[in-house]
Structure 1
Amino acid sequence: MSRPPLSTPRKLCYAAIATMGLLALGLGGLELGLHVGGVGHSPHFTRAAVTATDEPVWRENRWATAPYFGEHRVRRPWPLRLPREKASETYRIFVLGSSAAMGDPEPSFSLARVLDSMLTAAYPEIRFEVVNAAITAINSHVVRGIAADAARLDPDLFIVYEGHNEVIGPFGPTGVFSRFQRGPLAVRAADTWQRSRTGQWLSGVVDKSPEDDESWRGMEMFIAQQIAESDPRLDAVRAHFAANLRAIGGSAREAGATVLFCTVLTNQRDFAPFMPRHRSDLTAADTAAWETHYAQADAALATGDLRTADRLYRAAWAIDDQHAELAFRLGRLALQRSDPRDATRWLRRALELDTLRFRADGALNEIVRQVGNEFAAQGGLVDLAAALARTSPQGIPGDDLLYEHVHLNFHGTYLAARELFPRIGADLVERGWVSRFQGAPFSESEARRRLGYNAHEQTMIALELVSRFGRAPFTGQSDNAQRLFAWSERATRGQALLDRPSTLDALRLGAARSLQLAPGDWVLQRNTGAMLVARGAAAEALPMLEAAAAWIDDDVDTLMALGLAQEATGDTAAATATFAKVRALEPNYPGLSEPL
């Protein structure tokens, strides 16, 4: 019996299925071919490796952010080395986020490092592996993928400290790294495409723009990307942030890990807005009146007439209630009037109105609180922003906790770790690792000693901040001159202290104590070695730098210090080989000379 002929709709359906199948097969083949041919980069956070002693380990993928930023602007993860098989009695923590979580400007003193030292001292019977899984410039879209990768590495705890880069990072409305995507499905599709080798290849061929070949220029890249508080795209940013945090929590749940969602700190008290902007509908007369009130208020403030300054600033505010700098000045004036409640209101408003959105606003922290409470049974919320604000003068975070706009200084990092410490202890008790948790961690001075936060490191950080504050967008801030002067003074005092003949002996003694407490700490070995090279004791530095390089063989800072030590001790051949490794890893590494 013959079958009836297929109807036209059914033929079209079968043709579509066949076409889609062939397309999928073709794309799969292309993806495999590009992978084999070395085109594009893996977006995964880790890579499998084997040490010189044949130990199978997980190492960081140095190119993990290339699918988002491109090869010329790639941001590197902090060096990582984990046994592929987690040993018994090992508690593994992943700290997730962007530069504030990573520990910028010096990850040697990050939240992960302080927690590792703090927990090891309190619970010596447990082996802690605290992974700094944060990377500069990423946001929750990328953190979500890192969390999924970390979930496959037998984690016990995720600590999520994220929120500052939601506007400026990949798929954010600035569009610097990736096109903005409004809908969640569009974001997931764009993310999947960008992470694929095919997507990376085609983006390089079809979508290539002159900016793709630009090197990293930091925050300066975003100066033209102003996003007003009223921009409707911010609603999508907040929705994406909430969805990504829930996905991170889901990854932790699937791995059987606890997850702690942390609110993030911003410098509100001592940090002027990056880019204030007037209301778009001001008339010329309004603008003139505003400028008159503003200038007269500044003059009154300069003479100490706080009441007149306050009246005139408020008169300007009545004309334009969208100017971030004016809100900041009203907040600072309220601090001088000893009115912390009014100051808090104005300084928060200044943060919300700043059109260069490098700082998480209150709405994003509220999302962290909401999602954290949703995961209360699995760990939940740690309100670091509120807890640390209570330690600040007048309850407003400022320079006492942060280097600049969002990056915690050592004091702020220690307080954050201290706040997390009992929550981790409670999880250890819940899991049956210990019968009771320690009531308090060691002191901040002990943290400084154990991590080697000495005069050399503090001076290097001060010099980095002086360089940073000398570039845009900091140079456009109303208070940058004072900040630059203060940090220049610190750097000068630090340099003078380091130049004293007795300082080197004190640094040696402190380093010996730190290394005695953590003899296998490659970061301490690297930092101590680099300090000794800088202080003219290269021969003394060599064993430490060789030990650090044996543990992490591709950390460019270690290799650069090692090459300088080899060069200073007359081993030119070894130095040339070491500098060649640095050049292969980071061709534009600062201070790296051209090969002879």
Structure 2
Amino acid sequence: MHQCRSPHPCLPLHATHDNGQIMNQNRVQLSLKKRIAFSAFVTLSFFCFAEIGFRAMEIFWPPRHVDFGLGFNDDSRVFVDSKLHPGYMETDPAKRVSFVRQQFQREKPADVFRIVALGGSSVNYLEPELKQLERQLSNDSKQIEIINCGGLAYGSHRLVLVMREMLEYDPDLMLLYTGHNEFEEIEQLSLSGLNNLSFERTISRSAIVRFLRDRRADYEINRLEKEHNQRLLAREEPVSDSNFARAWSHDFGEQDVQQRMQSYEHNLRLILTTTKNQQIPVIMGTVSSNLLQPYLPREAAARYQQVYELWKNGKKDEGLQLAKRILAETTGRHQCSELENNILRKLADEYSLPIVDVESMIANAEPHGIPGETLFDDHCHLNDAGRAIWIEGYAPEIQKAIQSTLGRP
């Protein structure tokens, strides 16, 4: 029998083997934990250095200002306090992609008659004409100030929020011109990320996220510019493949026409009721659309060929009636129709408000009475000559409102 002669206590051979196995297992477990910790450390270090690097890049290539919520959120503001000019409001940097960059005193001076122009891109593009109108209407005793609140792709839903904000700045008169973006605004709402607003604001604190977000925005802007250029190149062929209306991300149904018009009327009523309660006069306007070269979905555009046939055969009035009917019946249209204009006329009559018939003025100024012959840049935006007609229609009503207000005791 084998005897242990070591001065230290001896263990059976099987015990020594088991202990060695346990020690090996501990070493394996320990090394696995170390590998996981090391991998986590490397990953974290990579993102930390990447974050530092992207933040350094932002010194030379500042990130885009992002309009979180796209104006649908309750805390959305077009104007913020100016950091450089105390007491002044200026367009929020995040809103400058949609609104004209401008500045005005928060507390309206006693000698200023403040006008707010409310609408979409058609109002936004009126900025040069509105500035000229300011100068024409101002005199030594009274300065006319027109704040341009035309938001790109803004429809009546978001204009209600803009109107509520503008009431804080004591306006004397509001101009209302809107109707092109009622379907556009539904798609904007679906893209706004309103339900994830807090999360998006939080992750955008990272320079890496901002970089990826801006590159995606660059891609989308380039895509939209390409589509716009294709439409301009295809203007001589209104029903070409490159001139069909772009597909919506929102799936519109036949019932959406009626629902959108109900929403449009509801939102306008909110604006008109609120301004009436605040005793702020409003000047409304019908909205003109390009009927010679509309921007229609493929199916509606094919149907629109009947309009061109009528015009070719000298049946101008029949062609115009059919053109207006097709536009009104088109789901997901990109421009104002007779449905919107009829609502505008009804509300102007109901609220006893002046309404400038821009639609008729544009049609009457065209060589053959067809909107789009000479006075539009695209399917809905007036060109320089068209905007001059817009001003020609609104200016007399603005003068009446100024005289009426200044004549009050």
Bin the TM-score by the shorter chain. 0.5 to 0.7
Matched residues in 2 for 1:164 and 1:250: separation?
22
Aligned to 1:394, what secondary structure does the other structure show?
A: coil
Q: 1:176 to 1:393 in 2, by over 3 A?
A: farther
1:45 alignment counterpart: 78
Partner of 2:99: 77
Please show how residues 389-538 of structure 1 align to structure 2 within 5 Å. Answer: 389-433=363-407
1:134 to 146, 150, 159: 150
Shift of 1:136: 0.8
Greater relative contact order (Cα < 8 A, sep 6+):
2
1:39 and 1:77 map into 2 onto residues whose CA distance is 11
SS of structure 1 residue aligned to 2:146:
strand
Match status 1:60 vs 2:82: no
Native 8 Å contact 1:402 1:409 kept in 2: yes
Identity %: 20
Q: What one-letter code is carried by the residue in structure 2 that aligns with 1:164?
A: H
In the alignment, which residue of structure 1 is the partner of 2:267? 244
Cα distance change, pair 273–134 in 1 and its aligned pair in 2 (3 A): closer
Match of 2:72 in 1: none
When residues 84 and 253 of structure 1 are mapped into structure 2, their CA distance, relative to the original with a 3 A threshold, is same
C-alpha separation between the residues in 2 aligned to 1:258 and 1:146? 17
* Cα gap change, 1:55 to 1:214, in 2 (>3 Å): closer
Does 2:150 match 1:119?
A: no
Equivalent residue in structure 1 for 2:303, among 326, 342, 355: 326
| CA distance 1:407–1:39, change in 2 (3 Å) | closer
Separation (CA, whole Å) in 1 of partners of 2:283 and 2:119: 12
* 1:23-422 equivalences in 2 (<5 Å): 42-51=75-84, 55-64=86-95, 75-103=97-125, 108-110=127-129, 112-120=130-138, 123=139, 125-169=141-185, 172=186, 176-178=190-192, 198=198, 201=201, 213-215=216-218, 216-217=220-221, 218=224, 223-225=246-248, 231-269=254-292, 271-277=293-299, 323-327=300-304, 329-352=305-328, 354=330, 357-376=333-352, 379-422=353-396
CA contact (8 A) 2:307 2:322 kept: yes
Larger radius of gyration: 2
Per-residue displacement from partner, 1:158-198 (whole Å, max 9, x unpaired)? 111111111011xx16865258xxxxxxxxxx7xx78xx64
Count of residue correspondences: 313
Q: Secondary structure at the match of 2:361?
A: helix
Provide Cα deviations, 1:39-90, integer angstroms capped at 9, x if missing partner: 9685112112254xx55111112224xxxxxxxxx83321111112212221
Counterpart Cα distance in 2 of 1:364 and 1:39: 28
**Is contact 1:93–1:159 with CA below 8 Å preserved after alignment?**
yes
Q: 1:254 to 1:60 in 2, by over 3 A?
A: farther
Whether the aligned pair in 1 keeps the contact of 2:68 and 2:192 (CA below 8 Å) is no
**Alpha-carbon distance in structure 2 between the residues aligned to 1:413 and 1:335:** 26
- Tell me the residue number matched to 2:42: none
Distance of 1:39 and 1:371 partners within structure 2: 32
- C-alpha distance in 2 between matches for 1:146 and 1:258: 17
Contact 1:272 1:325 in 2 (8 A): no
RMSD of Structure 2 on Structure 1 (CA): 3.5
**Normalised TM-score (structure 1):** 0.47
Compared CA separation, residues 424 and 273, structure 1 to 2 (3 A):
closer
Runs of at least 5 residues in structure 2 that lack an aligned partner in the other structure: 1-65, 70-74, 229-244
Counterpart residue number, 1:510: none
In 1, distance between residues paired with 2:164 and 2:144?
21
Q: How far off is 1:421 after superposition? A: 1.2
- For the residues of structure 2 that align with 1:398 and 1:97, how far apart are their CA atoms? 21
In the alignment, residue 166 of structure 2 is paired with which amino acid? A
**Residues 174/59 of structure 1: CA separation in 2 closer, same or farther (3 Å cut):** closer
Query: In the TM superposition, what is the alpha-carbon distance from 1:422 to its structure 2 partner?
Result: 1.3
Matched position secondary structure for 2:160? helix
1:262 deviates by 1.5
Question: Distance in 2 between the 1:39 and 1:136 partners?
Answer: 13
Partner AA of 1:403 in structure 2: D
Which residue in the other structure is 1:300 paired with? Answer: none
Gaps of 5+ in 1: 1-37, 65-73, 180-189, 278-322, 435-596
SS in 1 for 2:82: strand
Q: Cα deviations across residues 504-526 of structure 1 (Å, max 9, x unaligned)? A: xxxxxxxxxxxxxxxxxxxxxxx
Structure 1 residues 266 and 114, CA gap change in structure 2 (3 angstroms): farther
Distance in 2 (CA, whole Å) between partners of 1:76 and 1:39 is: 9
Cα distance in 2 for residues equivalent to 1:418 and 1:39: 34
Change (3 A) 1:272 1:134: closer
Deviation at 1:418, TM superposition (A): 0.9
Contact 2:190/2:250, CA 8 A, preserved across alignment: no
CA deviation vs aligned residue, 1:437-485 (integer Å, no higher than 9, x gap): xxxxxxxxxxxxxxxxxxxxxxxxxxxxxxxxxxxxxxxxxxxxxxxxx
Distance 1:229 1:266, change over 3 A: farther
- Alpha-carbon separation, structure 2, partners of 1:199 and 1:373: 45
CA 1:178/1:424 → structure 2, altered by over 3 Å: closer, same or farther?
same
Contact 1:324 1:349 in 2 (8 A): no
When normalised by structure 2's length, the TM-score is 0.66
Shift of 1:367: 1.5
| Per-residue deviation, residues 521-569 of structure 1 (Å, max 9, x unmatched) | xxxxxxxxxxxxxxxxxxxxxxxxxxxxxxxxxxxxxxxxxxxxxxxxx
Alpha carbons 1:161, 1:263 under 8 Å: kept: yes
SS in 1 for 2:191: coil
| 3-state SS, counterpart of residue 94 of structure 2 | coil
